[in-house]
A and B are shown apart, each in its own frame.
Chain A
Amino acid sequence: MSNVPSDLKYAKSHEWVRVNGDTATVGITDHAQHELTDVVFVELPALNRALKAGEACAVVESVKTASDIYSPVSGQVVEINKAVVDNPALVNTDPYAGGWFYKIKLSQPAEVNTLLTPAQYTAQISGS
């Protein structure tokens, strides 16, 4: 059973968001890493890049395939996780902590309310 922490918000496309004031941290869910298996490469958005919600902004590569990652929220990228670029396996081993992707300064904070709750996301992945 996939881990779905109760303090996060989720996108249908399997990203998680942790809001802290006007900034949010973004990564991919335990369910997503489990589906991908063996992450071997992570490409993150450039620092300071402005992102719109739903925009493809990162790529995760497993042995078999490349998968786009979509920003769940709009804003400007203020920090990227160099550790996950150096060690992509963190996405598999620690998706909600060491395996985070980027931090974004929210330009549309209200978007967070449109994201899935843990219960809604759990329902989505158990239905699939």
Chain B
Amino acid sequence: MLKRTPLFQLHQGLGGRLVEFGGWEMPVQYTSIMDEHLAVRKAAGIFDISHMGEVLANGAGAEEFLNQTLTNDIRKLAVGQGQYTLMCNERGGVIDDLYVYRLASSEYLLIINASRIDPDVAWLQQQLGFFPKRDAVLLQNMSDHAGAAAVQGPRVVDFIDKCFSGGSTGGAVVSRASELKKNQIAQFQFAGQPAWVGRTGYTGEDGFEVIVPAGIIAAVWSSLSTAGRQYGLQPAGLGARDTLRTEVCYPLYGHELDEQTTPMEAGLGSFVAFDKGEFVGRTALAGQKAAGVGKKCVAFKMTDKSAPPRPHYPIWSTGPDAAVIGEVVSGTQSPSLGIGIGMGYVKPEFAKPQTVIEIEIRGKRSPAMIVSKPLYRKPV
């Protein structure tokens, strides 16, 4: 039985096409992926992200516990700040990639992938069991009690304050949501309930993610939709979420990341703080940093008219010794660029930008080129 978010009926009412994603029944699109993608790039889109998981870590030992369980340096977070980070096993393989926010001096919120809630919570509990000061940490999986929405796009800042203002009551000290800086989070009161608003997203656009008690997510969605309508806000599904994140080369767990792949291989080494002391996976990752990786995550563009690249298509080198050098992990037609784009893992000697490669599509090879990330940059 697929899980449903508190907004399921709303998606049905909006004509959303519902598909399975990570064990959840979610809208892949309402009008069309292209249409919703371009709305987010040019104006604004609203996404249901209630399927994502929320874990609270509280207590005097929370900072130290999280710092040795996650790869980034959590001590750099001021209250009201968040960071992208990874959770690895001892081999350096990625259990999940996540956002961690410092809500209060000893309270942290972890935003984890929907498909990884169970393995993440099990891993965190297990790690906590090994932690000497475990009595000073309280872990709470809030995933079933929280609803969340992301509003993304250049016009969002024009209407977000209509929904969240009147001064923050937790996290960063601001008088309205638009005062938040990138990666900051603050709590506002919405219908008498706490609403956490973080300035982040998964689209490469400016925007906010709102996390609230499940019971008020429909009211929050409605409030944002009403406020954003005159700015071109549209509901957007997971299809557009995927094409948007692919254009800006954000990893998606299960594609770029899994338990057999390390942050070093994925090109996420800047989120691994080797200088902070011991953490799970450190030895393996430091070894890989010194010795080099066996595969690298690259971005590529198709250089001729071709069918869009898709996950699992083989990547070939060119020339007389042409051979399979890797595999596509994410691929799509880019709505912004009008060409096929993707990411894949290749042997490191082929990972340099401008390397000419070929993507095998249904038995036929089409020319492509490795390019530097991101694939899409906002025009300035």
Contact = CB atoms under 8 A, between A and B. Distances in A.
Interface string B7-35: 00000000000000000000011001111
B307 A37 contact: no
Interface string B322-343: 0000000000110100000000
Given A59-B362, A64-B332, A37 B29 contact: yes
A63 B362 contact: no
A106 B37 CA distance: 42
B33 A37 contact: yes
A38 B307 contact: no
A38 B33 contact: yes
A38 B28 contact: no
Given A63-B332, A63-B335, A41 B308 contact: yes
A62 B308 CA distance: 9
Interface in B339-372: 362
- Which applies to chain A's interface (DSSP): helix, strand, loop or mixed? strand
Interface residues of A, number: 11
Contacts of B61: none
Contacts of B34: 37-38, 63
B239 A63 contact: yes
A79 interface: no
B333 A40 contact: yes
Contacts, number: 41
Contacts of A62: 33
A43 B32 contact: no
B301 interface: no
Given A37-B29, A38-B32, A66 B332 contact: no
Contacts of B335: 63
B234 interface: no
Nearest to B332: A63
B310 interface: yes
For the complex of A and B, the 10 pairs showing the least CB-CB separation, nearest first, are: A37-B32, A40-B333, A38-B34, A63-B33, A41-B307, A38-B32, A61-B307, A63-B333, A64-B239, A61-B308
14 contacts: A37-B33, A38-B32, A38-B33, A40-B308, A59-B307, A63-B33, A63-B34, A63-B37, A63-B239, A63-B308, A64-B28, A64-B29, A64-B33, A64-B332
Contacts of A59: 307, 362
Interface in A31-63: 37-38, 40-41, 43, 59, 61-63
Nearest to B333: A40
Contacts of B239: 63-64
A116 B34 CA distance: 32
Nearest to B242: A64
B21 to A, nearest CB: 12
A13 B269 CA distance: 48
